[in-house]
Structure 1
Amino acid sequence: MAELNQDSGKKGKGGKVRAKKNGGKVDLTAMVDLAFLLITFFMLTTSLNKPQAMDVAMPDKNVETDKDTDVDVDEHRSVTLVLGSDDKLVWYQGDVKNPLQAPAVIDYSAEGLRAVLMRMQKLVPQQAGGKDIIVVIRPSEKSVTRNIIDALDEMKIVDIKRYMISNRIMNEEIELLKKENLYND
């Protein structure tokens, strides 16, 4: 039982000897019970922040594949994002050697990457007979992890259903980055 005791007796010397009076007692059991009830209530009713994670479909590790196999994608459906340095990227539609949309330098802002993705998301089904867009993200050695995360965030914001991260960047794309001065340390 929790209680609060107060002593009211005098400690001084001299004077008359009087009987010691006991101070009042306050029982704190009810207050302790109430505190634990409140703590329990707030712990059970508050929701903890859940980590926000994006689902990424990874290839099956058990399936034997040839490492040098290229996936053929219709050039009318594909938009390639080549991530460079200085928080910039180069995008093009189709093949890098003969692009349908000429390569252009943009940034990761709403007016940059998001605007391009939204425009191409509307344009590609018209060109590809109703099929949706496929975005290929190719990070270079000079890009940083934050750039990949920004590109994936834009895929989620614009609601692009088909996209992939390629770990191989072609020599023509590296030359394109060098020409645009986006292959810096």
Structure 2
Amino acid sequence: MAELDTSGGGKHKGGKVRSKKVSTRIDLTAMVDLAFLLITFFMFTTTLAKKKAMDLAMPDNTVKTNQLPVAATRSMTILLGSHNKLEWYMGEPGKSAPTVDNYGKDGLRKALIENGKKVAATHAAPDNFMIVLIKPSDKSTYENLVSTLDEMSITGVQSYAIVKITPMELGDLQKNNIY
């Protein structure tokens, strides 16, 4: 509530007639109540950032199944190293030179798209998609694995698997100083 203070000014004996000084005092209680009501309204009505999750089906390791043979020219292996670096190669380990790369659109994403197109162009219709093997090392971070899985989703890779890294592949990572 606004209040007006009418005291002050007044007439003095034998002096000039002066106008009254009016001072105002504003009570802001209602304004503060309204502000808190608005804050609580917006807190209850807005949704906070929802966690994003990717479905990942992991096989049961206790059950041994027969594996179907896959042409080595259809497979791409990604080795996750340290310092946000990775190494990838097409085909079998040791038969093709690995390429050291990074994450993102100019690194892993570009390699996935280019190799996927090559596989699709060289294979017959039912087998014209690339299979990607993701092998994280113990020096890679969880963020690197999630970034790799995101790239699989972005590039539309149909078939990929997370498998254990071999000692020979660890040697490749050490040789390229990313282990």
Query: What is the alpha-carbon distance in structure 1 between the residues aligned to residue 86 and residue 74 of structure 2?
Result: 19
Q: What are structure 2's unaligned runs of at least 5 residues?
A: 1-37
Other-structure match for 2:24: none
Other-structure match for 2:57: 57
CA contact (8 A) 1:87 1:108 kept: yes
Query: What is the alpha-carbon distance in structure 2 between the residues aligned to residue 172 and residue 70 of structure 1?
Result: 22
Q: In the superposition, relative to structure 1, how do residues 132 and 84 fare at CA in structure 2: closer, same or farther (>3 Å)? A: same
Q: What are structure 1's unaligned runs of at least 5 residues?
A: 1-37
Q: 1:164 aligns with which of 153, 161, 176?
A: 161
Spell out, residue by residue over 1:101-145, the C-alpha distance to the aligned partner (whole angstroms, 9 max, x if none): x31000012111011011111111122323211111000111111
Query: What is the alpha-carbon distance in structure 1 between the residues aligned to residue 162 and residue 136 of structure 2?
Result: 8
Other-structure match for 1:179: 175
Aligned-residue CA RMSD in angstroms? 3.5
Other-structure match for 1:20: none
Q: 1:86 aligns with which of 63, 83, 86?
A: 83
Query: What is the alpha-carbon distance in structure 1 between the residues aligned to residue 170 and residue 51 of structure 2?
Result: 36
Query: What is the alpha-carbon distance in structure 1 between the residues aligned to residue 47 and residue 131 of structure 2?
Result: 37
Which amino acid letter does the alignment assign opposite residue 83 of structure 1? L
Q: In the superposition, relative to structure 1, how do residues 141 and 111 fare at CA in structure 2: closer, same or farther (>3 Å)? A: same
Other-structure match for 1:110: 105
CA contact (8 A) 1:76 1:124 kept: yes
Give the length in aligned residue pairs. 156
Structure 1-normalised TM-score?
Answer: 0.67
Spell out, residue by residue over 1:4-41, the C-alpha distance to the aligned partner (whole angstroms, 9 max, x if none): xxxxxxxxxxxxxxxxxxxxxxxxxxxxxxxxxx99x9
- Report how far residue 57 of structure 1 moved: 1.4
Q: 2:136 aligns with which of 139, 154, 157?
A: 139
Other-structure match for 2:21: none
Structure with a larger share of its residues in strand: 1
- Report how far residue 60 of structure 1 moved: 4.7
1:58 aligns to what SS in structure 2?
A: coil
Q: How does 1:28-43 map to 2 (within 5 A)?
A: none
Query: What is the alpha-carbon distance in structure 1 between the residues aligned to residue 74 and residue 67 of structure 2?
Result: 16
- Report how far residue 97 of structure 1 moved: 2.5
Other-structure match for 1:148: 145
Which amino acid letter does the alignment assign opposite residue 94 of structure 2? K
- Report how far residue 76 of structure 1 moved: 1.4
Query: What is the alpha-carbon distance in structure 2 between the residues aligned to residue 181 and residue 44 of structure 1?
Result: 51
Structure 2-normalised TM-score?
Answer: 0.69
2:148 aligns to what SS in structure 1?
A: helix
Other-structure match for 1:121: 116
CA contact (8 A) 1:90 1:106 kept: yes
Deviates more, 1:48-57 or 1:173-182: 48-57
Q: In the superposition, relative to structure 1, how do residues 56 and 49 fare at CA in structure 2: closer, same or farther (>3 Å)? A: same
> Which segments of structure 1 move beyond 6 Å, counting only runs of 4 or more?
41-45
